Chain A
Amino acid sequence: MIKVGIVGMGKMGLTHAAMLEVLSPGCIVGVVEAGRGNHGTIKSLGLRAPVYSDLESLLSAHALDAALVCTPTFTHFSIVKTLIERGVAVLIEKPLAENLEKCAALAKLASEKKAITAVGYSIDFDPLFTEARRLLPALGKIKRYTAWVEHAEVFGPKKGWLFQKEKSGGGVVINPAPHMLFYLLEAFGAPKSVRARLNNPYSAGVEDEAEVALEHDGFAGTLSASWSVPNKPVLELSLYVEGDKGSLAVNGDEILIEEGGKVRSIRREDLPAEQVFELSPQARAANYYREDRDFLEHARRRTAPRNSIENTLKVDRLIDAIYRAGASGQAVSWS
């Protein structure tokens, strides 16, 4: 059986632990949680694997095949570097790192070491969004698209590493938005140039809102991202696409597709049924199950997942371009 470790046992670490225990019972051989005060909670959950306080202790005690990194962003670089150098397949919760330089260095290292890596863009495992991408050719020549990333999270100054740019890399653009950025890049390819307007009505050091214009060859897209939208208790990702033969909208609930003047709705229950573990239907947590299942399979077969560091570096480049465009007020050439 594949031997897996989890580094960081906060909300995301616990979520992945639950997924892994259902996918492959007993595959977790050890976990790392720096806060010793949380060890009691982790042990009382029923997890049989030992809890360590640092990565070195985990690596000394177990020959890991794979690891999941669920720690704060600013710690990713050194942890991921260590794991890749030890030949461990690694899934990193997004974003990969707090700046492009570190992301590029990890991509280079992963490539040199032929490492199996994955970055947690869970939207790529959402059956509705996958189906929507499959349906895009039916719209004909793409004319325009608009994407939204919305969450009710920040309505005043907040404390913590997430709101310190040097630790988190930024605000809404680098934290919730990369899910959608990866999807847009996979669906529409790289834009030629990017313009961005960033606002921070609440946070001192990071942006709370972003309006991004993406200029492609022959069509244009916009992304509107905000973590200060009331009545969005969970992150909502939505996309509207217009082509010369019809239009399509997709969000967490359904796909609406207009073909030949008729509108068809496709809901989750209309898609082929599969047995998944669902921890929170509101948060579409079954996507983490699918993501972990895919990662484990690639780690077993030693093949590269679609969301490998190398293939997702384009997201980090786009994030960097958005920040540069936001700071300069000018279009940034990107492709």
Chain B
Amino acid sequence: MELTAELPPFFVWDAELAGLGAYLDWLERRGVKELLWTPEPAGFREVEEAMAGRGLSLTAVLPNMSLYARDAMDAGPTGAVLKRFKALGPLSLAELGLRLLPRTPALLEKRFAAGIMLLADAEFLRLKSLPIGRVALHNSAVDMALALGCRELLTEFADWARARSVEGVVLTCNAWLWDQRMKEWGGPSPGIEVRPTGPGMWSEYRPVTPEARLAAWKKRAAS
């Protein structure tokens, strides 16, 4: 299996003086071939610049469930979706409209799978300028579906990926539950690769000794 790394949230690497490029150089030296990235609008330009000319394949983890949950806290679930629509240009918005047409009944019924794929679509359309090799369905959405028995999400995602000619990957933190469900459901949806999530490699890139970490806590407590 190819070595994969995860890109930490924007604020982690944004604070680095050497920037994202140095981290990607380090990953490539380690033999990493694929980078998993949960897109945040704040980091689009930096990721685009840092990825240019590299042999790394970029896998977008969609939709960004943490960002959606935060936006939904502020603006409600519908407001959070509208925020994603507003971020699209007129052409992308029109494209989204066309893509949504076949899913209108499911969206009107507020079906979970249709809602997740709507978010994924709105976010995917913003990534056109980035070298996205694959799309991974976010583990929180997948694991919620596995727990409650929403097979529809996996079939919808497989169809979605096929229609957009991208490779679909499903992320899960519960490989044991995935195996259990696949036995019950008669196997995964065709065209989907399943991956367990794993820790990123940032802490290896920026190692700090336990002594230094505890000293930082001590200093903070004293301040």
Question: B210 contacts A233, CB within 8 Å?
Answer: no
Number of A-B contacts (CB under 8 A): 105
Q: Which residues of B contact A258 (CB under 8 A)?
A: 214
Q: Which residues of B contact A240 (CB under 8 A)?
A: 217-218, 220-221
Question: B213 contacts A14, CB within 8 Å?
Answer: no
B74 an interface residue at 8 Å Cβ cutoff? Answer: yes
B133 an interface residue at 8 Å Cβ cutoff? Answer: no
How many angstroms between the C-alpha atoms of A281 and B197 in the bound complex?
A: 10
Digitize A73-98: 1 where CB-to-B-CB distance is under 8 Å, 0 elsewhere.
00000000000000000000000000
Question: B176 contacts A275, CB within 8 Å?
Answer: yes
Q: Which residues of B contact A254 (CB under 8 A)?
A: 213
Q: Which residues of B contact A247 (CB under 8 A)?
A: 214, 218
User: Nearest Cβ in chain A — how far from B203, in angstroms?
Assistant: 9
Stretch at the interface among A18-26, A181-189, A313-321: A18-26
B residues with a Cβ closer than 8 A to A are: 9, 11, 65-66, 69-70, 73-74, 109-115, 139-140, 143-145, 147-152, 173-174, 176-177, 197, 209-211, 213-214, 217-218, 220-221
Question: B213 contacts A279, CB within 8 Å?
Answer: no
> Number of A interface residues, CB 8 Å?
42
Which residues of A1-52 have CB atoms within 8 Å of chain B's CB atoms?
Answer: 11, 14, 17-19, 21-22, 37-38, 40-41, 44-48
User: Nearest Cβ in chain B — how far from A54, in angstroms?
Assistant: 20
Q: Which residues of B contact A281 (CB under 8 A)?
A: 173, 197
Question: B143 contacts A17, CB within 8 Å?
Answer: no
How many angstroms between the C-alpha atoms of A242 and B115 in the bound complex?
A: 49
Question: A46 contacts B66, CB within 8 Å?
Answer: no
A294 an interface residue at 8 Å Cβ cutoff? Answer: no
Question: B70 contacts A278, CB within 8 Å?
Answer: no
Chain B residue nearest in CB terms to A282: B66
Q: Which residues of A contact B174 (CB under 8 A)?
A: 277-278
How many angstroms between the C-alpha atoms of A278 and B144 in the bound complex?
A: 10
Question: A256 contacts B214, CB within 8 Å?
Answer: yes
User: Nearest Cβ in chain B — how far from A214, in angstroms?
Assistant: 14
Q: Which residues of B contact A45 (CB under 8 A)?
A: 112, 144-145, 148-150
How many angstroms between the C-alpha atoms of A19 and B144 in the bound complex?
A: 9
A249 an interface residue at 8 Å Cβ cutoff? Answer: yes
Knowing A240-B220, A280-B140 are in contact, say whether A37-B110 is a contact too (CB < 8 A): yes
A204 an interface residue at 8 Å Cβ cutoff? Answer: no
Main secondary structure of the interface of B (DSSP, over half): helix
Q: Which residues of B contact A146 (CB under 8 A)?
A: 220-221
A231 an interface residue at 8 Å Cβ cutoff? Answer: yes
Question: A40 contacts B109, CB within 8 Å?
Answer: yes
* 12 pairs, A vs B, C-beta closer than 8 Å: A38-B110, A40-B110, A44-B114, A44-B152, A146-B220, A233-B9, A240-B217, A256-B217, A275-B176, A277-B147, A277-B177, A279-B173
How many angstroms between the C-alpha atoms of A162 and B112 in the bound complex?
A: 25
Question: A278 contacts B214, CB within 8 Å?
Answer: no
User: Nearest Cβ in chain B — how far from A36, in angstroms?
Assistant: 11
Question: A11 contacts B148, CB within 8 Å?
Answer: no
Which residues of A192-246 have CB atoms within 8 Å of chain B's CB atoms?
Answer: 230-231, 233-234, 238, 240, 242
Chain B residue nearest in CB terms to A285: B140
Question: A47 contacts B149, CB within 8 Å?
Answer: yes
Knowing A11-B69, A256-B210 are in contact, say whether A44-B113 is a contact too (CB < 8 A): yes
Question: A46 contacts B176, CB within 8 Å?
Answer: no
Q: Which residues of A contact B111 (CB under 8 A)?
A: 40-41, 44
User: Nearest Cβ in chain B — how far from A12, in angstroms?
Assistant: 11
How many angstroms between the C-alpha atoms of A282 and B12 in the bound complex?
A: 14
Chain B residue nearest in CB terms to A250: B217
How many angstroms between the C-alpha atoms of A256 and B174 in the bound complex?
A: 28
Question: A264 contacts B73, CB within 8 Å?
Answer: no
